[in-house]
Amino acid sequence: MSCPCPGAMAEHFSLSDCDVIGFDLDHTLCRYNVSDTFALIYDSFAQFLVEQRGYDRELMTLTPDCWDFCFKGLLLDLEDGNLLKLGEDGTVLRASHGTRLLTGEEILETYGKKRKWKHFKTINGTFARSGKYHFYDNYFDLPGALLCARVVDILDQNRTVKKYEFWKDVIASIEYNYKASAFKEDSGIYFPSVKKDPGKYLLRCSESVKDWLRKLKNAGKVLLLITSSHSDYCRLLCEHILGEDFEEIFDIIITNALKPGFFTQMPQQRPFRTLATKRHDQLSLVATRADDKQHEFDWDNTTIIGQAKQGTAREFLETWHSSTDSINKHIDLDPIYRPLQRTAGTDNRKRQIQTTTDAGGKITETLHRRLPSTEDVT
């Protein structure tokens, strides 16, 4: 990106001075119906705790005023069962035990005259995850602050507990609903609910926003979308809020970015892996496979078997031409297309890569594939 002031933000900033413009997705381009989404996230976690970890069913009951408890920047002290709002120097500004707000006197009694949180010095400028505390800094786990507060309330009613050990179960509920495979497997509660009724939780971008993005693209700007969501969920969001042609808007789409580490970690810690490159590019997956197998790929005799501009079309081509011995993973073709595939003469697709060895022991791999023509399917 080239901006007039590379070291710091200029007093007057204009996007017209930038070559590359990046966008976040969740709660930025993609706005959520917060009330319905928060209720869904809370129910996703609470139902797991009740049905799979045996917690009190009272967790499933909420009143509208409960949501006033949720706001970004809360810190859960897992040792004390307290939720804190801290100042920039670690001063406890407000606190609650469970959902019960602590008085000023109780805060002084718990944290001393300076009202300092004991673990603040260990943070070193970033609220890293810890077994002693959790910082609620994003909307996807923020309803968990309310859930944890209510868990503390319920556990306090049972005075036999000596310390709070519920956090491992909360983590399990998060992983159950947000794990990478949950969207594809239709598991958990969150993703199946959003897939079933995206309009209930997602707000479409206005036509003015879509027109603005296209104007930026037509003006020669490189548009970049970076999201920590996985690719399948990203596609659902973008198709709903922008339309099925959303890929034409962005030059680069990066999913599962795991921000903020995507920006703060060194390149050596988070290296990119090239998935699709120009021919003869030694960073491609073909070159990687050849190196791993100590093979030499015959680039000059390789034929491009198909091209497509749209994501759906690319997926279909990959499915059509793939087999169990393909370089990429094999994708099963929808049964409705298999008779057409056989008619098109692609039953010989297992001969995609031919391996030969010369007298000197040198191994060569050559890609062979007959392209289907219109004569095959008429």
CA 258 to CA 230: how far, in whole Å? 10
244: confidence class by pLDDT, cuts 50, 70, 90: very high
The dihedral over CA atoms of 259, 265, 270, 275, expressed in degrees to the nearest 10, equals 60
175: confidence class by pLDDT, cuts 50, 70, 90: very high
Residue 359 reports pLDDT greater than 70: no
In single-letter form, the type of residue at position 246 comes to: F
Q: Are 53 and 66 a contacting pair, CB within 8 Å? A: no
CA 351 to CA 355: how far, in whole Å? 10
Mean pLDDT score, 234-238: 96
> Buried b / exposed e across 63-96, counting CB within 10 Å, b at 16+?
eeeebebbeeebbbbbebbbbbebeeebbbeebb
- Cα–Cα distance list, 15 to 3, 30, 212, 220 (Å): 9, 20, 12, 12
Q: Which of 26, 36, 169, 251 is catalytic?
A: 26
Q: How many CA atoms lie within 13 A of 332 on its CB side?
A: 3
CA 53 to CA 138: how far, in whole Å? 25
Instruction: Check residue 14 and report its DSSP letter.
Output: -
Q: Are 72 and 55 a contacting pair, CB within 8 Å? A: no
Alpha-helical (H) ranges within 135-218 are 143-157, 167-178, 182-185, 190-196, 198-201, 207-218
More confident residue, 241 or 142: 241
66-100 confidence digits (pLDDT tens): 888 887 888 999 888 999 999 988 899 999 999 99
In single-letter form, the type of residue at position 368 comes to: H
Catalytic site residue 26? yes
Place of tokens 């209930």: 200
CA 364 to CA 249: how far, in whole Å? 40
Residue 371 reports pLDDT greater than 50: no
Q: How many CA atoms lie within 13 A of 17 on its CB side?
A: 10
135: confidence class by pLDDT, cuts 50, 70, 90: confident
Mean pLDDT score, 265-273: 67
Instruction: Check residue 30 and report its DSSP letter.
Output: B
285-328 confidence digits (pLDDT tens): 555 555 555 566 566 666 666 666 555 566 666 666 666 555 55
The rounded Cα 227 to chain-centroid distance in angstroms is: 6
30: confidence class by pLDDT, cuts 50, 70, 90: very high
CA 348 to CA 346: how far, in whole Å? 5
The predicted pLDDT at position 260 comes to 74
The predicted pLDDT at position 39 comes to 94
Q: Which CATH number fits domain 16-29+202-264: 3.40.50.1820, 3.40.50.1000, 3.40.50.300, 3.10.580.10?
A: 3.40.50.1000
CB pairs under 8 A, 24+ apart, for 292-295? 293/363, 294/363, 295/355, 295/363, 295/364, 295/365
Q: Which of 17, 19, 24, 281 is catalytic?
A: 24
What are 148's two structure tokens?
């944890």
Q: Which of 108-122, 129-143, 168-182 has the highest mean pLDDT?
A: 168-182
Catalytic site residue 186? no
Residue 191 reports pLDDT greater than 60: yes
The predicted pLDDT at position 370 comes to 43
Mean pLDDT score, 236-247: 95
Beta bridge partners of 32: 202
Q: Residues of the chain with pLDDT > 70: what percent?
A: 65
Average pLDDT score over the chain: 78
Q: Which of 94-103, 275-284, 369-378 has the highest mean pLDDT?
A: 94-103
Domain locations along the chain: 16-29+202-264, 31-195, 285-377
